[in-house]
Amino acid sequence: MAKQIQGIMHCPCGREKILANGLCASCYTLKRQDAEYFGGLREAVLERDGNRCRVCDAPGGRKREMIVHHRVVGKSVLHLMIALCPGCHAKVHRTKAVLKEWPVLLLELWREQHPTGHEQTMLDFTTRKRPARLVPLSENREQNG
């Protein structure tokens, strides 16, 4: 766990201030969250997925830049979790209607989160009502124009 550098105790991340279990406050919180929210499988998911987004293949860089997404809410099982970049994760959760073609995996993840969601593959610009009557913005323009 903790390393000793020249007689001083350090967290594995390099910070000097140790909170508990040989970890600094940040690492301790992350380890607790991993156990609580991911059943201790977060690191295994990231390792399996090569610390890259499974949709767009973006690299994760630091470990906390990549999000581990539960395909079934609250179920921490390795095959039901997937590594996503913040952009793809936001699309899965925050997009209310699909307006363009997405990669197959992203569309599948979106459908899991939004089973009754609206999928629109093209925009329809056909007019169904009579257009509004043109109204001049000012009387001067009507007289000058």
Q: How many CB atoms lie within 10 A of CB 19?
A: 14
CA pair distance 59, 43, nearest whole angstrom: 15
The verdict on 48 and 108 lying in the same domain is: yes
Does 47 lie in the same domain as 28?
A: no
Indicate whether 132 belongs to any domain: no
**How many CA atoms within 13 Å lie on the side-chain side of 77?**
6
Q: What is the pLDDT of residue 6?
A: 47
- Residue 79 located in a structural domain: yes
CB 22 within 8 A of CB 10: no
Range of the structural domain that residue 32 is part of:
7-38
- 12 shares its domain with 45: no
Digitized pLDDT (tens) for each residue of the chain, 145 residues in all: 454 444 467 777 777 777 777 788 877 777 777 777 778 888 888 899 998 999 999 887 765 688 889 888 878 888 889 999 988 998 888 877 776 678 888 888 988 888 887 776 665 666 666 766 777 777 655 555 5
Beta strands 118-119 and 97-98: pairing type? parallel
Instruction: Indicate if 87 and 19 belong to the same structural domain.
Output: no
Which run of H or E residues covers position 98? strand 97-98
Residue 50 and residue 28 share a domain:
no
This model's pTM is above 0.85: no
Say if residue 113 is in the same domain as residue 45: yes
| Residue 2 lies inside a defined structural domain of this protein | no
Please calculate the CA angle 60-65-79 and round it to the nearest 5 degrees.
70
**pLDDT confidence of residue 140:** 59
